[in-house]
Every structure is written in structure tokens, then in C-alpha cells.
Structure 1
Amino acid sequence: MSEFSSAGRTAFSSAGRSVGHAAVVGTGPNGLAAAVTLARAGLDVTLFEAAPEIGGGLRSEALFDPRIVHDVCSAVHPMAAASPFFREFDLPGRGVDLVRPDISYAHPLDGGRAALAHRSLEATCADLGADGPAWRRLFAPLMRHSDSLTRLFLSDLRRPPTSPAGALLFGRRALQGARFHGDEASALFTGVAGHAVGQVSGPVGNAVALMLGHLAHTSGWPLPRGGSAEIARALADDITAHGGTFHVGHRISDLGELSGFPLVFLDTSPRGFLSMARRHLPDRYVRALSRFRYAPGAAKVDFLVSEPIPWANPQVGRAGTVHLGGTRAELLRGERLAARGRLSDSPFVLVVDPGVADPSRIVDGKRPVWAYAHVPNGDDTPPLDLVRARIERYAPGFGDTVLESRSITAAQYETYNPNYVGGDIGAGEMSLRQIAVRPTFRWDPYTTPLHGVYLCSASTPPGPGVHGMSGYLAATSALRRHYRLRPPALSPR
């Protein structure tokens, strides 16, 4: 007889354990955020991580030179700077220096042209010439509502917005999209929409472009000094300071292994949840969760180079993030092919040279370069030549600066991080339906049919990005339901 039950009956036997115990499976940013919240509320928290080190998408590693750190997954964190969870947690107060380049992102075009999103809205508009006024009309009102919009965008989407006027303004722009005359402004906007992965055109792509785009002019697109693992370190330090314990290299294959914990939080994909819990779940829920869709994948390349990237337009070298997609039409074509399961010969590629904002990442002139291409989900084509050629198109001679390189196919990315199903680094397609019912329809999207078992990965609202809100919201839901506790204070003081 299963030790689990459907909702309405106690699912776990305490087996001598205090009801104040909780298990967290997976130590990506959301698992760590859930654990911080639970531990600060007074629960004894135990975290299980299948990999040899914690962090999930926040992991960093010295790949080629022991002195030079590469971000193996995420590198730039606009959501971490804007997230209500991280703002209260206070990353700078915990020694995490979020360094912000003067140019948040750039989009080079052929012929040495480039569009630049400066931290300064006015500087951006001046660079865009005739399209400058349209860019200002699009983003200036959103910047005035930035706090309320960020809280709405990074919520469970189940409650009314704190600023209905701001939400209406944002919604109208997401439905209408952006209209520009020149290639530069169109490419600059569409490149940010590319972060929606496969949903570039339409309301979802527009919404992502509006949110990330306006943050470029407010809190910026920062990189953690020393690498993304610094964020994971700060979270882990707070967990251990409040009595939490970590078990790394410990894979949970069956939910029954955690039957002694009254509460379980799963920072896993729906596919991962089904793998460990299918026999405990109602058939109807299994079918619903099996319908969860995944987006195109990312194929990653890490380079060690001998000098800054030789961009044809030197201004691009001041940007923290560079979008390589060509014109809007070219970018849309590449994303449509990836969504249809076909590999483009000119895919959308994102490039980050961390040394632009963080000189500590440069040693003896050598520096890391981070890049990934959008490819079909599960694609097993080695991306090195494809990505290098895309960079060379806008930075002739780049290949001559490469000292070492390592590539990971989309299929291999899932092996590295099982939450990236088929290489989907967003942990699920960002369609209109899957924003509203992520991962499937439940009023509280973090609950499951198993009493005390919660999902808290990026496959739950608000979705992808290093913001910690999925974990935080899942944990606060459980604290309210099981202990009638309010969310704990997160500040280090």
C-alpha cells in the first residue's frame, strides 16, 4: 500500500520526525529560495542534490584555467536584481556584488551597424535616431511603473495587480507589440523577445521584451562579480546559518525515500516529478502533467580567449549581453525553425563576455566567453562550429583569439541539469496557456495531489529566470497552509 495519498488525508507518516521538518529536492535558485524561506520560518530543512555541487543553473566552474571561472548555465541576471525575493534577501548585503555594464545589451547587424540598449534611456533613444521617440514612448511609461510591474510579472498570477493602471498599460503594449522604421530598433526589441525561446512574435514575446527591455534602463542586466555561483553561495550560507543541511551527490529516484518528511519541495521539471512519483499520483493528474510542453533547447559553448571579442562595431564590446540574430526577419525565421524541430544555419545566439563588467574574470589577458544557440529540443548537433561562425559574422577574427573551447549539445544539457528537458533552459514552453496553467491547472500552482508535496521549479509560476520566486511562493504557500505562518523576514540584518 502506498505511503502517499490524494489530497484530503495525511500523506506522510512522521516516523518519529518533527512535523517541522522539510525536504527540498534540487538546489537550483528556486530550491535554495524555498529552503531559505522555510529555514528562516523555523523548520529543519534538508536539501538533496544529485550533482556533486549545489546551484543548478547558478553553477560556475574553472573549465580550462584554474584561475578563470566560467558560468556553465546562467550568466546575466536582470531578474535577480529586480526580484522581490532577492531584493529583500539583499544580495549586496551578503557580499554578492552585482556589476552592471553601461550597455545592458547590444544587437550587431551586418556592415558594422549595431543597436545598443544603454542603462540610460536617453542615450539609447539618441543612438536610435528616428526611432528614438518611439523607443521612449514604449519604455518610459513602463519605467515609471517598474516596481508594480515587476511584482506582477514575478508573482503567481493569481491575484489582482497592485497597480491596475500599470498592468493595463503593460498588457496593451504586449498585445500591440512595437513598430519601428529602422532595422536597428526592430532588431534590438526582437532580440530581447528572443529570451521567450520559440515565442518571439506575439503577446508572449512582446511581454518578455517589454519586461526585460525596461529593466535594462532601470535596475540593469547585472553579472555577479566572480560568477553566478556567488548567488548560490549566499543562499547556501543563509540556509546553513539557520540549521539547514545539504546532501550532494544524492539523487532521489523515488518519492518514497522521503516518506519521513511532512513537507517535500521539488525543484524539478514535471517530467522529473513524474519519474519519481508516478506510482503515488492519480492517473488524471499524471495525464495532465504529461501534457506539459517544453520549448526549443539551448546548445552551449564556453570559450577561453586571449583578448576581447573583436566586434566590427567596437561599441558592442561595452555590452554585457550581445544578441546575434540579424534583422528581425532573420531572427523570427531562426526561432520558427527551432520551434518546428529544424536546425537553422543561422540560429539566434546569445554571447556574454563577463570581463566587460567584471575585470576580476580576466587573468593574464585571458578571459571567458559564454555563448549559447537556440536549437530544436533534444538536438544532438555539436554547436561549436555553428556558434563560432555566428560570432565571426559580426566579429571577424574571433576564431584567432580562441585558446580553448567546450561545447554541450541540447541533449547533453539535460544530462548536466535534468530540469533542462531536451536542453530547454526555461523549464517549459512560455505559451499563453502555459503561463496561465503552469505546469497544469490548480488554483495554487505549487500544490500537488499529494498532501505536503509541492513543486517549486521554474516549471511553476512565474517561470524561467534567476529570481527565486517560484521557490519562495511555494514555501510561503506551505507555511500558510500547514502552520498558519506568515512569510519570514529575509534581510541579513
Structure 2
Amino acid sequence: MADVAIVGAGPNGLAAGVVMARAGLNVEVFEAGRTIGGGARTMELLEPDHFHDVCSAVHPMALASPFFREFGLEERVRFEVPELSYANPLGGGRAGLAYRDLGRTVQGLGKDGQAWRRLMRPLIQHIEGVVDTGLNQFLRVPRHPLAAALLGLATLEQGSGLWNLRFSTEEAAALFTGVAAHAVGRLPSPAAAGAGLTLGALAHAGGWPIPLGGSQALVDAMAEDIRAHGGVIHTGQTVDSVGELNGARAVLLDVSPNVAARIAGGRLPQKYLATLDKFRFGDGACKVDFILSEPVPWANEEVWSAGTVHVGGTRAETAASEAAVAAGRHPDNPYVLVSQPSGFDPSRAPHGRHVLWTYCHVPHGSTRDMTEAIVRQIERFAPGFRDVVVRSHVMTAADLEHYNENYVGGDFSGGAVTIPQLLARPSLGPNPWRMPAKGLYLCSASTPPGPGVHGMGGYHAAKLALKDVFGLPMPGLSPAA
């Protein structure tokens, strides 16, 4: 009989498994898919020896997440950290460029350089507090009040109609808009601004790492640690009820609220089930992976060295695209996230070939194939792109939900990223990971701190379960522990 059963082997479920197995408990992880990984799988989608990240590809939190830092991820996985964290191409071969080196970024932004420095430098100087505020301090008095205040004030500015007061050039305005649009939703908004500021500060504080071998390397490192400490991971095994889990004393669910209700509904009070039912999912994504015969021919050659490219054009164009999606329309010129990991990791494709990772935002539940719209949008800023495409593979928003039932409507964020749903994710309270039934915990991206590959949802839930159920302290997580 397992002490702990974990449903879902995504980054959060595996993080919970690491904590529980390290505490000396008998752990079993159940994954419905044929392979582990959830939002961090790497697969051969089109041709042998071409390795595509099915969901996440670049990992701003990999070196910053408190869980990953305790776990010693940097000692377990090799990373390439591009000097140019992200870029936003514009017409005429122009581009906003966010280097790890803040000074170089400031210099490249010309007359808006000092405005960028004033926005980002205070957050960079207090980056540990900024990260801790976002990932650890849910509904608590901040341990880093100055960092929290700096982040809050900047969020009020860039998350409101005031956002156009700081910058006078298209390059700087688009550079911030591109990173804020990761949050999926209308712009400006406080939730998008908070995400953009945190990601933007991390881009300068340490960069946005790309794991060598693909995102799968992150989850494989966690799985290896679980097994090394006696845990067992089952794949291809769907769990429909907690009654199937061999009487485990603690059950941690790395699933969406609707799936949690299906699995544990018989043990949950109706009021809580009603809360789960009200949880709102956001808009979706259409994911398109490419094999290329050559690197993307960006009009601005510096863009090629960026780990991530935000292809949305100007601030106004990106905001219009996101507003169209929020209104239920498919934009003609979508905001597209792009990464070419083979430019940093040759193992991802054979010599002379490249893999390209892209997705754009689409209305919830969309069945539309956006491949042509994505190609056309990239072609705007990389003339000749169409000519270097060898093959492509598309997953519509509906396909994403079929691939992973936690991506409801193609929402890979685990729920709409809005201020109300960041405060009540999925319920309001200081410990939203604890479900109102003995030994049951929710630990997916539908809990704080929300989306991203950081493992913190699993970390927080496991910490609670250790205390509540087993009366145990947190174990050491480092490779040497």
C-alpha cells in the first residue's frame, strides 16, 4: 500500500513526488499518458532525430524557482542560456532586443533606454524577493516588502492605461508588450503586467534557459530522483476515482479542477464542488512545430540569436490581436511565440536541419488550424521563411485538450490568468492546495502560483501533506542530501 498517490506526472506532480519520496514515504505516481512530462514533453513529432518540445520550450523559472533551486536542477540538467533572452521584431528590420546584459539592452533602445532601465533595474536588484512574492507568498504578508512594493507599483503602471506614458519608441513599447502577452488575455491588464515584469526581470537577472535535450530533461531529472528514493511511476494508467489508489493516506492531484471533481467528487462537499465548477478557463493556443532546412531568415539578423521571439509587431498590433482572441475571434495577424532551440542545442536536429517551436493564441476551444496565419506572420519579419519550411505539425486548441485533458479548451495555463483567479485558484484561502477532505490535495497549475514550469504547486501541496497527514518536516532536496 502506498503512503502517497500522485495523479499526473507533469512538473508539479513530479515535484510533489520528489518531496514525498525524499521524506521516506512510499510514493506511487500515475500518469495517463504513455510518457511522463505533461507540459514539458519532448517528442519526435515529424521525422526521426528531430526533437520537438510539445508544450514548453524555454524555461525562465528553471534557475529561479525555489523548488528547482533546492532540488539543484542546474547540477542535474545542462542548460544553454542565450545572451539575447527575447526579441520583438518590427517592420523595416527594426527590433526590440532584451539581452541578459541590462546595459546592452538600454543602449540598444536608444532614447527609451533609460526608461527601460528605470522600469527593470529595481526589480533585477531585488529579483529574489520578486520571485518569492510571486511563487511563495500567496495571501501572506510579503517576506520581501520592498520587492513586493516595487513589483506592485510597476504592475499598476504597465497593467493600466498608464502603460503608454513611459516609452516613446515602438521598440521599447513592443518589447514589454511581447513579454506581457505570455499571460494570454486583453492588454493592458494587471495580471499580464505582473507576469511580464517578472519574466522581463528574470531575462536580465539570469536569462531564460533552454535545457539541452529538450524540456523532457527537466521531468526526467525529477523522475530519476523519485525512483532513486523508492518511488514508482506508472504510465498509461488513467485514474477515474480515488478509490483506485490502494488506500493511499495522501492523494495529490496534478490535474485541472474539473478532472479533480471527477476523481474525488464523492469525497468532496457540494459547496467546494460548486467552487470547482465555477473555475474559469482561459483562451487557448494553436501549436505549430516546424522542421526547417535553414534557420529563420529574420530581417534583423540579431533576432536569430534570441532564445525566444515575440512575433506580434507593435504594441498596438499585439494588443489588437489579444483583444480579438478575448472577443472570440481568430486574428489575421496573431501574436506568435517562437523559439528555435536547435540554434542552441545541435542534438535537437540532424546537421543542416532545424526545429522551430511556435504557437499563437486562439479563442477557447478553437478547432482552427492557424499554420498559414503563423507562417504569414513570421514571413512579415523574416522574408523567405516559407521557403525554408520542410514540414509542419499542428495541434489546434481542441487537439491540445485531446492531448491533455487538463488543457481545457486548449488553455495550457490551467485556468484564466486574471487577478481574481490568481487570488482564488481555485478557491480563496491561505492554503488553496488543501482540498476539504482528509488527505486530498490539488497541486496543478490551477493552484498558486499558476502556470509555468516551476514545480511550486507540487512543492506547496506536498509541504502541506507532509505536515497534515504524516507530521513530517520538509526533507532536503539537493543532489547531495
Residue in 2 that maps onto 1:326 = 313
Aligned to 1:55: 37
Using the TM superposition, give the Cα deviation of residue 411 of structure 1 relative to its aligned residue in structure 2, in angstroms: 0.7
Match of 1:99 among 57, 65, 80: 80
C-alpha contact (below 8 Å) 1:305/1:401 kept by paired residues: yes
**Aligned mate of 1:129, from 110, 114, 124:** 110
Partner of 1:417: 404
Match of 1:82, SS?
Answer: coil
Q: Check whether the contact 1:156–1:473 (CA below 8 A) recurs between aligned residues.
A: no
The Cα offsets for residues 378-435 of structure 1, whole Å up to 9 and x where unpaired, read as 0000121111111111111111111111000001101111111111111111111111
Matched, 1:28 2:15: no
How large is the RMSD of aligned CA atoms in angstroms?
1.2
TM-score normalised according to structure 2 size: 0.97
* Distance in 2 between residues matched to 1:411 and 1:432, nearest whole Å: 26
Question: In structure 1, the residue corresponding to 2:309 is in which secondary structure?
Answer: strand
Aligned with 1:286: secondary structure?
helix
Shift of residue 223, structure 1, vs aligned partner: 0.6
Contact persistence 1:70–1:227 (CA under 8 A): yes
Q: Amino acid of the residue matched to residue 57 of structure 1? A: G
Corresponding residue SS for 2:361: strand
Distance 2:428 2:74 in 1: 37
> 2:315 and 2:6 mapped to 1: Cα distance?
42
2:323 and 2:364 map into 1 onto residues whose CA distance is 12
Q: Check whether the contact 2:249–2:469 (CA below 8 A) recurs between aligned residues.
A: no
Are 2:397 and 1:397 aligned?
Answer: no
Partner of residue 254, structure 2: 267
**Alignment match, 1:438:** 425
Match of 1:254 in 2: 241
CA contact (8 A) 1:383 1:408 kept: no
Shift of the alpha carbon at 1:199?
4.3
How far residue 156 of structure 1 moved from its aligned partner, in angstroms, is 5.0
Between 27-36 and 391-400, report the one with greater CA deviation. Answer: 391-400
Q: Secondary structure at the match of 1:488?
A: coil
Higher mean Cα deviation, 473-482 or 199-208? 199-208
What pairs with 1:284-433 in structure 2 (closer than 5 Å)? 284-433=271-420
- Whole-Å Cα distance in 2 between the matches of residues 396 and 44 of structure 1? 56
Match of 2:224 among 237, 240, 246: 237
Kindly provide the amino acid, as one letter, of the partner of residue 310 in structure 2. Answer: H
SS at match of 2:357: strand
Counterpart contact for 1:47–1:247, Cα < 8 Å: yes
CA contact (8 A) 1:319 1:356 kept: no
Percent identity, aligned pairs only, is 51
Name which of 53, 68, 80 aligns with 2:50.
Answer: 68
Structure-2 separation of matches of 1:277 and 1:175:
39
Pick from 278, 281, 284 the counterpart of residue 265 of structure 2.
278
Q: Which amino acid letter does the alignment assign opposite residue 105 of structure 1?
A: Y
Q: Is 2:256–2:444's contact at 8 Å kept on the other side of the alignment?
A: yes
For 2:448 and 2:430, how far apart are their aligned partners in 1?
Answer: 12
Per the alignment, in what secondary structure is the counterpart of residue 61 of structure 2? helix
SS at match of 2:173: helix
Structure 1, residues 415-466: CA drift from partner, whole Å, max 9, x if none?
A: 1111111111111111111111111123310011221010000100000000
Question: With structure 1 as the length reference, what TM-score do the two structures score?
Answer: 0.94
Deviations 1:29-69 (A, max 9, x none): 00000000000011100010000000111110112232221
User: Could you report, residue by residue, the CA deviation over 1:90-118 in whole angstroms, capped at 9, with x for unpaired residues?
Assistant: 12222x11211110000001111111001
In 1, distance between residues paired with 2:370 and 2:180? 22
**C-alpha contact (below 8 Å) 2:89/2:300 kept by paired residues:** yes
Give the whole-Å Cα distance in 1 for the aligned partners of 2:237 and 2:313: 44
Shift of 1:280: 3.1
Instruction: Return the alpha-carbon distance in structure 2 between the equivalents of residues 282 and 159 of structure 1.
Output: 26
CA distance in 1, matches of 2:131, 2:74: 19
Letter in 2 for 1:144: Q
The runs of 5 or more residues in structure 2 that have no matched partner are none
The one-letter code sitting in structure 1 at the alignment partner of 2:78 is D
C-alpha offsets along residues 128-166 of structure 1, whole Å, 9 cap, x if unaligned? 000000000011111110011111111151322222111
Match status 1:457 vs 2:444: yes
Tell me the amino acid that sits aligned with residue 119 of structure 1.
Answer: R
Q: State the match for 2:19 in structure 1.
A: 37
Q: List structure 1 segments (4+ residues) > 4 angstroms apart after TM superposition.
A: none
**Cα pair 1:420 1:427 within 8 Å, conserved:** yes
Per-residue CA deviations over 1:343-370 (Å, capped at 9, x if unaligned) read 1111111000002322332422111100
Aligned residues: 474
Given that 1:199 and 1:430 are in contact with CA atoms closer than 8 Å, whether structure 2 keeps it comes out as no
Instruction: State the alpha-carbon separation in 2 of the partners of residues 311 and 247 from structure 1.
Output: 44
Over residues 307-345 of structure 1, what are the superposed CA-to-partner deviations in whole Å (9 max), with x where a residue is unaligned?
Answer: 100011111101000001111111111111111221111
Q: Single out whichever of 437-446 and 377-386 deviates more from structure 2.
A: 437-446
Shift, 1:206, TM fit: 1.2
Unaligned runs of 5+ in 1: 1-16
